[in-house]
């Protein structure tokens, strides 16, 4: 679909940025074969810190912390990608389908609910009662539902979230310069400028995105708008990335932190209900990229190294990956990782992040769904809390360390932008090697992928320049979403 019109001037002082819609969809209509194995998640739901080491059979790097019985944290070492990043061959439709309705609009603001009526199963039941062969009916029905669902989720989605004015900004009597039309996906930045004779005038910058969320929107609603529609797709060989972009203190961490918890809740529900007994396994890993180097946030910031195998798959050697069965464990792992994450102090945010933190939820399954065979990656959901975008401009700071951090952050944010632009324009060459960040994300941008960018903005007049930069960065992504 073509761009509707961009940078349209209004009264010589308004820049208008229009949205374009994403219709570059991929077919993800493959269903996974059922198996008779039951992992008994229910019985494990109440244990604290239930996680298993993920140690592929060929990998002998298990640490002394390996699983020692019920209820113990038991990390194993893993080459995240070296043995298992190859996608499973296409599999047949399962013999039973207990689907939920994943309608994006109706689900806004809430999570999947186990108590919801099983609409799809109900429809199937009534049709098969009329004498149609149940298995073939289920196959075609679930495949078409699946395809429709995949097609309804844009390949690239850009969402803007405005946070409320904080206490400091209110004390300084800073104005809220962002207006958002009710029930619209448009926002306006009101920038105060000076004429040559030093009289003030207002310049309006209008932007339109896939969704614009104002300061009253809850984290649940953010989830419903961004990640929730993607969750079912990762059972269908999709690799998805959700990242937050914005200046320090704009709300990236506030926005990103709840998302993996909510996503894993839904993933586990799908595993327990829709994909019951089909052998899916959920794994969590959490690492950061700081100064161009990788550190494992679930293993005392152990330095990791990245390699590429013969099939150009990226391997993060030594990254610990935990098999998880319940949300509480994931929550504890995330808290542990966050506590380990590199933070520094800036004027805008005491806990400013100078690293990119990457949390991955990986769904695996062995070819026949049994636990005796090595599980391979089916789909992956990566959550990236990017370093503050303005840190990229920290190149004039007195501190050499800060300058170097700024240069590295700048490089990776530019590389990220370039990669998405190149992917979109179908260029043969994707500049993944531009930064560690894009190298790590390589497999999440190719093939059957989904990308959600959440641009976080501060409403205060003092942040106007950064806010405009963030929105322009996001607007370039909009260029890609066609």
- Would you tell me which residues interact with ligand ATP (CB under 6 A)? 163-164, 166, 246, 248-254, 349, 351-353, 388, 456
Calpha distance 210→225 (Å, rounded): 10
Nearest approach in angstroms of CB 204 to ligand ATP is 24
User: Quick one: 122 or 164, whose CB is closer to ligand ATP?
Assistant: 164
User: Quick one: 78 or 409, whose CB is closer to ligand ATP?
Assistant: 409
253 has binding-site annotation: yes
User: Quick one: 327 or 457, whose CB is closer to ligand ATP?
Assistant: 457
Nearest approach in angstroms of CB 254 to ligand ATP is 3
User: Quick one: 55 or 248, whose CB is closer to ligand ATP?
Assistant: 248
Q: Determine contact, residues 227/189, Cβ cutoff 8 Å.
A: no
Nearest approach in angstroms of CB 199 to ligand ATP is 34
User: Quick one: 108 or 204, whose CB is closer to ligand ATP?
Assistant: 108
249 has binding-site annotation: yes
- Residue by residue, what is the 3-state secondary structure of the chain? CCCCCEEEEECCCEEEECCCCCCCCCCCCCCCCCCCCCCCHHHHCCCCCCEEECCCCCCCCCCCCCCCCCCCCCCCECCCCCCCCCCCCCCCCCCCCCCCCCCCCCCCCCCCCCCCCCHHHHHHHHHHCCCCCHHHHHHHHHHHHHHHHHHCCCCEEEEEEECCCCHHHHHCCCCECEEECCCCCEEEEEEEEECCCCCEEEEEEEEECCEEECCCCCHHHHHHHHCCCCHHHHHHCCEEEEEEECCCCCCHHHHHCHHHHHHHHHHHHHHHCCCCCCCCEEEEEEEEEECCEEEECCCCCEEEEEEECCCCCEEEECCECEEECCHHHHHHHHHHHHHHCCEECCCCCCCEECCEEEEEEEEEECCCCCCCCCCEEEEEEEEEECCCHHHHHCCCCCCHHHHHHHHHHHHHHHHHHHHHHHHHCCCCCCCHHHCHHHHHHHHHHCCCEEEEEEEEECCEHHHHHHHHHHHHHHHHHHHHCC
247 has binding-site annotation: yes
Nearest approach in angstroms of CB 249 to ligand ATP is 4
Nearest approach in angstroms of CB 285 to ligand ATP is 21
Nearest approach in angstroms of CB 10 to ligand ATP is 29
User: Quick one: 234 or 244, whose CB is closer to ligand ATP?
Assistant: 244
Nearest approach in angstroms of CB 250 to ligand ATP is 4
250 has binding-site annotation: yes
Question: What's the farthest any 2 CA atoms get from each other in the chain?
Answer: 83
Burial of 274 (0-12, 13-18, 19+ CB in 10 A): buried
360 has binding-site annotation: no
188 has binding-site annotation: no
Nearest approach in angstroms of CB 446 to ligand ATP is 28
For the record, the structure tokens of 435 come out as: 């930064």
In the bound state, the residue with its beta carbon closest to ligand ATP is 251
User: Quick one: 20 or 340, whose CB is closer to ligand ATP?
Assistant: 340
User: Quick one: 275 or 473, whose CB is closer to ligand ATP?
Assistant: 473
Question: Closest Cα partner for 247 from 178, 342, 162, 190?
Answer: 162
User: Quick one: 250 or 448, whose CB is closer to ligand ATP?
Assistant: 250
For the record, the structure tokens of 301 come out as: 């910031």
Nearest approach in angstroms of CB 248 to ligand ATP is 3
Which residues are known binding-site members for ATP? 246-253
Which residues are known binding-site members? 246-253
């Amino acid at each position: 679909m073509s761009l509707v019109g961009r940078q349209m001037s209004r009264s010589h002082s308004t820049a208008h940025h229009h949205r374009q819609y994403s219709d570059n969809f991929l077919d993800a209509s493959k269903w996974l074969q059922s198996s008779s194995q039951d992992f008994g998640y229910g019985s494990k739901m109440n244990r604290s810190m239930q996680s298993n080491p993920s140690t592929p059979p060929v990998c002998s790097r298990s640490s002394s912390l390996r699983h020692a019985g019920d209820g113990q944290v038991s990390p194993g070492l893993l080459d995240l990608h070296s043995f298992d990043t190859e996608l499973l061959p296409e599999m047949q439709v399962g013999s039973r389908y207990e689907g939920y309705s994943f309608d994006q609009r109706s689900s806004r603001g809430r999570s999947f609910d186990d108590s919801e009526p099983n609409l799809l199963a109900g429809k199937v039941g009534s049709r098969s009662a009329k004498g149609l062969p149940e298995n073939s009916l289920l196959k075609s029905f679930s495949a078409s539902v699946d395809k429709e669902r995949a097609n309804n989720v844009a390949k690239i989605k850009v969402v803007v979230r405005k946070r409320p004015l904080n206490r400091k900004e209110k004390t300084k009597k800073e104005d809220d310069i962002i207006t958002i039309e009710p029930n619209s996906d448009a926002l306006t930045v009101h920038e105060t400028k000076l004429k040559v004779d030093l009289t003030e005038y207002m310049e309006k910058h209008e932007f339109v995105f896939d969704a614009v969320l104002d300061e009253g929107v809850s984290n649940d609603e953010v989830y419903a708008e961004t990640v929730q529609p993607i969750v079912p797709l990762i059972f269908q060989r999709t690799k998805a990335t959700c990242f937050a972009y914005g200046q320090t203190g704009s709300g990236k961490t506030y926005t990103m932190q709840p998302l993996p918890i909510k996503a894993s809740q839904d993933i586990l529900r799908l595993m327990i209900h829709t994909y019951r007994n089909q052998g899916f396994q959920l794994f969590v890993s959490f690492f950061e990229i700081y100064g161009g180097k990788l550190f494992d946030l679930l293993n005392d910031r152990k330095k990791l190294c990245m390699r590429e195998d013969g099939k150009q798959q990226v391997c993060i050697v030594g990254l610990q990956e935990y098999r998880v069965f319940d949300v509480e464990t994931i929550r504890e792992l995330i808290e542990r990782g966050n506590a380990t994450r590199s933070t520094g102090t800036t004027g805008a945010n005491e806990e400013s992040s100078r690293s990119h933190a990457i949390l991955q939820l990986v769904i695996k399954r062995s070819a026949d769904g049994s636990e005796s065979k090595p599980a391979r990656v089916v789909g992956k959901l990566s959550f990236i809390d990017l370093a503050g975008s303005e840190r990229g401009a920290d190149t004039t700071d007195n501190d050499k360390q800060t300058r170097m951090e700024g240069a590295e952050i700048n490089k990776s944010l530019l590389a990220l932008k370039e990669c998405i632009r190149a992917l979109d324009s179908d260029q043969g060459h994707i500049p993944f090697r531009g930064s560690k960040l894009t190298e790590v994300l390589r497999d999440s941008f190719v093939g059957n992928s989904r990308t959600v960018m959440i641009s976080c903005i501060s409403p205060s007049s003092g942040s106007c320049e950064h806010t405009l930069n963030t929105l322009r960065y996001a607007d370039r992504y909009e260029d890609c979403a066609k």
